[in-house]
Amino acid sequence: MNIFLIAEIGINHNGDLGIAKRLIDAASDAGFDAVKFQKRSVEKVYSKEFLDSPRQSPWGKTQREQKKGLEFGEKEYVEIDKYCKLKNILWSASAWDIESQNFLRKFNLKFNKVASPMMGNFPLLKEIASERKKTFISTGMCELKEIDEVVELFRKNNCEFELMHCVSTYPMEEENANLKVIETLKKRYNCKVGYSGHESSLLKVGIIAATLGATSIERHITLDRAMYGSDQAASISYNTLKSFADSVRAVEKILGSGEKIITESEIAVRKKLRLNIR
């Protein structure tokens, strides 16, 4: 078992490239495999009425100003691409519209990610599946029949995918984790299944997910859970990332391969204690 660890930066950078780099540093130093962002074409994802509506934020007094303040453009992503290569960590982003997915193609990313809110956006899903690139698919807010449709689409396009069990509340209460769904999805779709978590606790849920055979784990990360932003409270603080990664990796070692063998350390004990009587 080799659990793929994704540190979800999302929009927790608050539009600040310096914060994004500090989070990339933390994820890389902790041993995560990848960091992930979110990419939106604000004017295409949201209606004019919504964007014109009031919202107080560090960037202004409307939803438009808040949404655009949280978006990185090409200049920032070029720098992120360079920085992740320097730190030897993969990166990707979940696109919320076709224009954003096309934008991400510039960077030759190793994997795609479908965010739970996009599970009903079939034009976007078709665009992603057409790339035939490994895709992690979060299943929050979904019924099984909806997942059926998406799985069928990706299989029809011969696009490798991995489902991720997810409960889309921010933060998620532990008693709502329902981690047995990992096994349900494995049996129903005969595919790899990971876990994308939004709980405020550090270790318990992720460790149990690993024990149940999650092949990937994604967690939001932040510099400070008290920072501005709806995802911050459901994130792991950057200074505890290594504890999280080390604990998950320890589960992998403890679970082992499943092959019944006599270990090296058992051999001497066997010679001393083993009775062979027939």
In three-state form (DSSP H/G/I as H, E/B as E, the rest C), the secondary structure along 30-78 is HCCCEEEEEECCHHHHCCHHHHHCEEEECCEEEHHHHHHHCCCCHHHHH
Residue ranges per structural domain of the chain: 4-273
Q: Count CB atoms within 10 A of the CB of residue 26.
A: 23
Nearest to 37 by CA among 4, 5, 85, 70: 70
Q: Which residues of 103-124 are buried (b: 16+ CB within 10 A; e: fewer)?
A: bbeebebebbbbbbebbebeeb
Does residue 117 have a cis bond before it (omega within 30 degrees)?
Answer: no
Distance CA 31, CA 252 (A): 14
Q: What pTM did the predictor assign?
A: 0.94
Kindly state the DSSP code that residue 116 receives in the 8-state scheme.
G
- Quick one: CATH architecture of 4-273? Alpha-Beta Barrel (3.20)
Phi/psi of residue 201, nearest 5 degrees = -75, 155
How far, in Å, CA of 150 to CA of 249, rounded? 30
- Specify the pLDDT at position 226: 66
Residue 184 near residue 211, CB atoms below 8 Å: no
By DSSP bridging, strand 60-62 and strand 54-57 are antiparallel
| Per-residue pLDDT tens digits for 47-96 | 999 999 999 999 999 999 999 999 999 999 999 999 999 999 999 999 99
Return the pLDDT at 127.
98
Helices (H) and strands (E) in the chain, counts: 12, 11
CB-facing half-sphere around the CA of 11: CA atoms within 13 A: 18
Nearest to 93 by CA among 28, 37, 169: 37
Structure token pair of residue 181: 């769904």
Among 248, 236, 244, 243, which residue's Cα sits nearest to residue 10? 236
Collect all residues with Cβ–Cβ distance below 8 Å to 192 and sequence separation of at least 6: 162, 163, 186, 215, 216
Amino acid symbol at 227: M
Residue 162 CA to residue 151 CA, distance in Å, equals 10
Ranges of the chain with pLDDT below 70: 1, 226, 229
